[in-house]
């Protein structure tokens, strides 16, 4: 896979510098000793409060540096990508942030992190610091493992401990709350791809039609391969396993975490599926969906839940300084607002009969339906070959509803516009809907039929942008409507025919899909203009003397 980076050995330090430069905060800094010691810390920290320090390998952004700030972490210690920070770096963070109140280390349950943070804690104690450590192992993917991994649920502990520290609790109470919280968090992840590390060869072990359930945040294999299926079914599988670990009757907060490259559209869909699953009855707060603890570019997500009590709920709802933290929010069902009713009274659209109007509409629609194959053939030479089918669909829809039209009233054109706008699809349906809707407004204002059609054309070309010479239906429609206004149906048919024939000599279209086509257009009439000419010819024949 391709990545944006300069040198493999400077990715993390350059990224941290970029983060600090754009964080918009004068309260964050990096600790001296860079780049070996990669520590982001608060410069406004009051050492009479308990320092809360966490960290781990890079590649999980915004964790961990993104959560340094008021109400969360005092400092974050970073290693290289997916590598535990050194003992020296952790110890440096403890020294820089810890006063008489002591320090709490929050560590994800990986061997490297446990050892390096643990040795740093022992060295710090030897120097006279009060240091405690909480290990988070929230991953339930491997139920029989003695030491479950720490994944995104760790962020609950960051938030709770950070809040208690910020509000002045002592080390013993902050540690006790953090340990109790860590024991009541469950998490599970799923992904459709493994992550790739910049500067390293990537081999995706996933098949085209499968993913993995329960894989780790460093790309380590999941507990099982799982067939690709709908998001709702995948979330249901996860929800069933998570729900089995919840206490009946208790309230929970749900953290919906993007593991790297899931688009926001899909993350919102996943959130909807999670809140439609059996988990929903237990969830009262949500955090996310969003990027919280990622695995570089992994195409997956994780769900984490923590059991709530009054203290934890207050801690999760408390505002914080870091912008990367997504505020906890109560679950709310979508609010539905009643749509405004059309300004036109229903009576104006009531069905009515008019023999002449019905005959005219039927003649036009039947002609367009008969042209389906011919128009598709013309369009295949310049577009995607569906003009005939699109136009015929609209014509059939109008014919099918002809008994419901207000044929004896000026609202007929507006009703046809509504039908075409919903049945035809694509830009042609919208353009014709504009044409008939605007013409109806003009007709209702007292204009003659031909003047009303010209008014509709003006609005259609205003929104659509096409004009005569652009090789569209306008090349036939505009001269036809002007001739209709001046001389009647026969003159209109002649003008439309000449306009359509002119498009065959236009080597370059300036609107529509055919604008992307070159010399293939030579000698080919525009299908829309051809259809307009055929319609006016049929109308002229209808009005011709017997």
Active site residues: 218
Distance CA 89, CA 79 (A): 9
Distance CA 163, CA 526 (A): 68
Closest C-alpha among 492, 516, 521 to residue 504: 521
- Max Cα-Cα span within the chain: 113
The answer to whether 109 touches 134, Cβ cutoff 8 Å, is no
For residue 526, which phi and psi values (nearest 5 degrees)? -65, 130
Q: Which helix (H) or strand (E) holds 53?
A: strand 51-58
Sheet holding 185-191, edge to edge: 224-227, 210-213, 185-191, 300-307, 252-258, 283-291, 329-330
**Residue 26 CB neighbour total at 10 angstroms:** 8
**DSSP per position, 201-227:** -------TTEEEES--TTS---SEEEE
Distance CA 367, CA 376 (A): 14
The answer to whether 125 touches 98, Cβ cutoff 8 Å, is no
């Amino acid at each position: 896979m391709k990545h944006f980076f300069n040198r493999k050995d400077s990715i993390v330090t350059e990224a941290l510098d970029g983060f600090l430069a754009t964080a918009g905060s004068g309260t964050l800094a990096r600790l001296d000793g860079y780049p070996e010691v990669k520590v982001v810390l608060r410069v406004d920290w009051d050492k009479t409060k308990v320092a809360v320090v966490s960290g781990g390998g890079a590649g999980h952004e915004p964790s961990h540096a993104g959560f340094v700030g008021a109400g969360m972490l005092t400092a974050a210690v970073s290693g290289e990508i997916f590598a535990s920070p050194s003992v020296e770096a952790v110890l440096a963070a403890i020294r820089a942030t810890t006063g008489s109140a002591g320090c709490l280390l929050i560590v994800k349950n990986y061997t490297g992190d446990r050892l390096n943070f643990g040795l740093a804690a022992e060295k710090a104690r030897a120097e006279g610091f009060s240091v405690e450590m909480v290990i988070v192992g929230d991953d339930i993917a491997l139920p029989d493992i003695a030491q479950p991994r720490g994944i995104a649920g760790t962020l609950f502990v960051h938030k709770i401990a950070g809040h208690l520290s910020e509000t002045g609790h002592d080390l013993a109470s902050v540690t006790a709350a953090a340990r109790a919280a860590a024991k009541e968090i469950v998490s599970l992840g799923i992904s459709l791809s493994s992550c790739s590390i910049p500067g390293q060869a990537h081999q995706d072990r996933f098949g085209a039609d499968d993913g993995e359930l329960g894989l780790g945040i460093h790309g380590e294999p999941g507990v099982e391969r799982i067939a690709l299926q709908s998001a709702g079914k995948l979330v249901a599988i996860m929800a069933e396993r998570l729900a089995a670990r919840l206490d009946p009757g208790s309230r929970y907060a749900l953290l919906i975490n993007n593991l790297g490259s899931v688009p926001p559209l899909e993350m919102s869909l996943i959130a909807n599926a999670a809140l439609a699953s059996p988990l929903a009855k237990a969830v009262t707060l949500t955090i996310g969906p969003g990027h919280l603890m990622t695995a570089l570019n992994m195409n997956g997500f994780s769900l984490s839940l923590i059991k709530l009590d009054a203290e934890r709920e207050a801690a999760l709802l408390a505002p914080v300084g870091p912008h990367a933290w997504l505020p906890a929010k109560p679950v709310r069902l979508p609010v539905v607002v009643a749509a405004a009713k059309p300004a036109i009274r229903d009576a104006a659209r009531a069905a009515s009969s008019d023999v002449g109007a019905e005959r005219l509409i039927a003649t036009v629609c039947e002609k367009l339906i008969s042209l389906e194959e011919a128009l598709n053939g013309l369009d295949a030479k310049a577009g995607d070959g569906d003009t005939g089918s699109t136009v015929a669909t609209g014509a059939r829809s109008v014919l099918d509803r002809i008994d419901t039209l207000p044929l004896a009233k000026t609202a007929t054109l507006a009703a046809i516009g509504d039908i075409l706008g919903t049945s035809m699809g694509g830009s042609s349906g919208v353009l014709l809907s504009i044409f008939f809707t605007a013409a109806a407004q003009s007709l209702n204002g007292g204009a003659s039929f031909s003047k009303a059609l010209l008014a509709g054309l003006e609005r259609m070309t205003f929104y659509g942008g096409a004009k005569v010479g652009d090789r569209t239906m306008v090349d036939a429609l505009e001269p036809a409507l002007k001739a209709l206004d001046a001389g009647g149906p026969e003159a209109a048919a002649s003008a439309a025919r000449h306009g359509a024939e002119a498009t065959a000599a236009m080597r370059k279209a300036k609107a529509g899909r055919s604008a992307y086509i070159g010399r293939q257009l030579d000698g080919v009439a525009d299908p829309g203009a051809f259809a307009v000419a055929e319609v006016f010819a049929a109308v002229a024949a209808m009005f011709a003397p017997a």
